Chains A and B, each alone.
Chain A
Amino acid sequence: MPTFVYMTRCDGCGHCVDICPSDIMHIDKTIRRAVNIEPNMCWECYSCVKACPQNAIDVRGYADFAPLGHSVRVLREEEKGTISWKIKFRDGREKNFLSPITTKPWGENIPKLGDLEVPDQSALDSQLLCFEPDALNVDTGLPVISKDKLKEGVYY
């Protein structure tokens, strides 16, 4: 049971169901709480843990090789743009880590390519992608190599 849910904290909101890449976080129809229906298909990716507004989801290691008594907790603060981790060893030792998750306000710096000027036929026929060659940050343009050179075989 890699992810598991604290029943007293879960309010059945379904954020974990919505985000789980393995599609194994489901809402139990009887108790109306989230439950990992297929623990052996859980990647321990923490997507649901980070998404849970109630901090109701936790992870323990796989029973096959991880004894109980440890914890790795996470707090992802989207507004602050940070993620904090607390690792608790089985013997009680602790480690704490803090990392940024973004450097910009969410979404504001991602352009809508549909609003840009329409590329002309010569751009379409070239090998350049959107924002190139500028985005390559080189003066020499997009690199090319002659077809013969590619056929020289293995060289080192």
Chain B
Amino acid sequence: MAKRKTVWEDCDILVVGGGMAGTGAAYEARYWGRDMKIICAEKANIDRSGAVAQGLYAINCYMGMQWDENQPEDHVRYARNDLMGLVREDLAFDMARHVDSAVHKFEEWGLPIMRNEESGRYQREGKWQIMIHGESYKPIVAEAARNSADKIYNRIMITHLLMDEGRENRVGGAVGFNCRTGDYHVFRAKAVIVGAGGASHIFKPRSVGEGMGRTWYAPWSSGSAYALPIEVGAKMTQMENRIVLTRFKDGYGPVGAYFLHLKTYTQNTYGEEYESKWYEHTKAMVGEYIDHTPTPTCLRNHAFIEEVKAGRGPIHMVTMEAFQDPHLEEIGWENFLGMTVGQAVVWASQNIDPKYINPELTTSEPYVMGSHATCSGAWVSGPEDISPPEYFWGYNRMLTVDGLFGAGDTVGGTAHKFSSGSFTEGRIAAKAAVKYILDMGNEKIQVSNKQCEDLKEIIYKPLENYTVGRNEITRVLFLQATYYLFKDSNVLKKLWMNIVAV
């Protein structure tokens, strides 16, 4: 193996990933753990990393308890209905009761949240969503994390967790590589909070060729949120769940603001409303859920897919009515410019002005994730005060591996967290991690050099395979191999596949 430098770092808390969950964790950890060494490792640059890199035009999870708009139990009920029963109520309740305080802080830090002129309250997009000018949402929360962490490592791709050799089933840190220098990084930590991303590109994207990266979820979400805990034996939940979203065709422009705020609606190619047609069919499949209000999103998507299969596609979003109002038209466009610029690019290139043309919708390819309207992820402990005994084992948001905590996409069973809820969950996990470390007392983590060296070999193995094997393969394979080997994003994917195969 070519000689690669190893960089060692010992710390108390390691936060893996600097997206919404990771920044929340790094931020909160400092308040409770004053003398602790808090490190965050992010594979990109925390100013623009994670799913909020592009900005957001809405915060999709805000209770509004101060105006008695919603209470946490309402959110539990809503999320449980939307996921057809499959949620961890304790985790959902816990996130929902804290989320408002995070949003209030965002506003204090400078995030422009729109206000309803009449009521003076935050402008609602729907029952749970508030509207923001969130182009700089991520840089703002990144600043909060920077103010708290001892060090933030940008461009470090964490690939494996280390395990403590002194005690069974306890985490000991994590390792990864620097995307710029190629150096090997070892972080020995008493507690690790995984705030990494969900998985895009598990399934072939709708678009091919150049369009492959124009996925709905970020193309750099490589599934570390699951790969890391799975490899050390953490229990997972609902990993068979896939999220498929209705989006504007080719650009994945979000439909939330259009449905909820602009009051646009869908119709098939003959201008007919189609969802009610599939009522009996869906009822036979899922029973009473089709009668619930609001209709679970997956069932509405099912009607969409069935209608297209029946030959009455494409499905259009009727925008021509709403867009006659200049204010609503502005919101419709700014919604994209704030979080999905690619949709504006597609419409500009195809001369689609939704004021005069009803744009096409489509369903996305499937994703595995845990923070949007979906629930895949790790099985974690809930909070002490509300979790039933079987849902509580010592520390809030701790996985079934001691000292390993999760937030955001990592945590399963807690749908509808979105950006604010992921940040909040990071905060919850950070406080619990501090408590965990304090309870450890003077106990030390034991991580041998051998464990680190073994993982180093695994990480750099593909490069070695290439060097050793390049003369043994045909030209076509050679080109494919070089393609995969020299794309940072794909090295990990390849590694991951190797591990799965083993």
Give bound CA distance, A119 to B28, whole Å. 12
A87 touches B344 (CB 8 A): yes
Q: Which residues of A, 48-99, contact B by the 8 Å Cβ criterion? A: 59-72, 74, 76, 83, 85, 87-91, 93, 95, 97, 99
A66 touches B44 (CB 8 A): no
Residue of A nearest to B343 (CB): A44
Give bound CA distance, A114 to B71, whole Å. 31
Q: B102-110, B161-169, B223-231, B364-372: which one contacts chain A? A: B102-110
Which residues of A lie under 8 Å from residue B487 when comparing CB positions?
A: 38, 41
B97 touches A143 (CB 8 A): yes
B210 touches A62 (CB 8 A): yes
Would you call B309 an interface residue if the criterion is a C-beta within 8 Å of the partner chain's C-beta atoms? no
Would you call B260 an interface residue if the criterion is a C-beta within 8 Å of the partner chain's C-beta atoms? no
A93 touches B353 (CB 8 A): yes
- Asked if A64 meets B54 with Cβ closer than 8 Å, knowing A22-B220, A155-B77, the reply is no
Give bound CA distance, A83 to B135, whole Å. 8
A106 touches B210 (CB 8 A): no
Q: Which residues of A, 104-154, contact B by the 8 Å Cβ criterion? A: 104-107, 109-114, 116, 118-119, 124, 127, 129-133, 135-138, 142-147, 149-151, 154
Would you call B427 an interface residue if the criterion is a C-beta within 8 Å of the partner chain's C-beta atoms? yes
A21 touches B112 (CB 8 A): no
Q: B4-12, B330-338, B464-472: which one contacts chain A? A: B330-338
Q: What's the minimum C-beta distance from B13 to chain A, rounded to whole angstroms?
A: 14
B219 touches A43 (CB 8 A): yes
Interface SS majority for chain A = loop
Would you call A20 an interface residue if the criterion is a C-beta within 8 Å of the partner chain's C-beta atoms? yes
Interface string of B336-352 (1 = CB under 8 A from A): 01100110111111110
A114 touches B112 (CB 8 A): no
Q: Which of B97, B143, B218 has the most CB of A within 10 A?
A: B97
Would you call A7 an interface residue if the criterion is a C-beta within 8 Å of the partner chain's C-beta atoms? no
Would you call A13 an interface residue if the criterion is a C-beta within 8 Å of the partner chain's C-beta atoms? no
Which residues of A lie under 8 Å from residue B397 when comparing CB positions?
A: none
Would you call B385 an interface residue if the criterion is a C-beta within 8 Å of the partner chain's C-beta atoms? yes
Give bound CA distance, A42 to B210, whole Å. 9
Q: B45-53, B185-193, B234-242, B444-452: which one contacts chain A? A: B45-53
Which residues of A lie under 8 Å from residue B110 when comparing CB positions?
A: 102-106, 109-110
Which residues of B lie under 8 Å from residue A155 when comparing CB positions?
A: 77
Interface residues on B, range: 35 or more
B211 touches A65 (CB 8 A): yes
Would you call B65 an interface residue if the criterion is a C-beta within 8 Å of the partner chain's C-beta atoms? yes
A19 touches B47 (CB 8 A): yes
B101 touches A132 (CB 8 A): yes
Which residues of A lie under 8 Å from residue B109 when comparing CB positions?
A: 104, 109-110
Residue of B nearest to A59 (CB): B345
Which residues of B lie under 8 Å from residue A100 when comparing CB positions?
A: 112, 133
Give bound CA distance, A118 to B35, whole Å. 11
A21 touches B213 (CB 8 A): no
- Asked if A71 meets B348 with Cβ closer than 8 Å, knowing A43-B218, A150-B388, the reply is yes
Contact of A45 among B32, B45, B73, B341 (CB under 8 A): B341
Which residues of A lie under 8 Å from residue B65 when comparing CB positions?
A: 136-138, 143
Residue of B nearest to A142 (CB): B97
Which residues of B lie under 8 Å from residue A110 when comparing CB positions?
A: 109-110, 140, 143-144, 147
Give bound CA distance, A127 to B427, whole Å. 11
Interface string of B450-478 (1 = CB under 8 A from A): 00000000000000000000000000000
Would you call A12 an interface residue if the criterion is a C-beta within 8 Å of the partner chain's C-beta atoms? no
Residue of B nearest to A105 (CB): B110
B334 touches A97 (CB 8 A): yes
Interface string of B124-143 (1 = CB under 8 A from A): 00000000010110001001
Give bound CA distance, A102 to B109, whole Å. 9
Q: What's the minimum C-beta distance from A152 to chain B, rounded to whole angstroms?
A: 9
Which residues of B lie under 8 Å from residue A114 when comparing CB positions?
A: 30-31, 34, 147-148
Give bound CA distance, A47 to B112, whole Å. 19
Q: Which residues of B, 178-237, contact A by the 8 Å Cβ criterion? A: 179, 207-215, 218-220
A64 touches B148 (CB 8 A): no
Residue of A nearest to B330 (CB): A97
B334 touches A76 (CB 8 A): no
- Asked if A97 meets B489 with Cβ closer than 8 Å, knowing A19-B47, A22-B220, A89-B353, the reply is no
Interface string of A16-55 (1 = CB under 8 A from B): 0011111100000000000000111111111100000000
Give bound CA distance, A109 to B109, whole Å. 5
Would you call B435 an interface residue if the criterion is a C-beta within 8 Å of the partner chain's C-beta atoms? yes
Give bound CA distance, A65 to B263, whole Å. 28
Partner-B contacts on A (CB < 8 A): 1-2, 18-23, 38-47, 59-72, 74, 76, 83, 85, 87-91, 93, 95, 97, 99-107, 109-114, 116, 118-119, 124, 127, 129-133, 135-138, 142-147, 149-151, 154-156
Closest 3 CB pairs of A and B: A104-B110, A135-B101, A137-B66
Given contacts A65-B250, A97-B334, A135-B101, 10 further A-B contacts (CB under 8 A): A19-B47, A21-B220, A22-B220, A41-B219, A88-B348, A89-B353, A110-B109, A113-B30, A138-B66, A145-B386
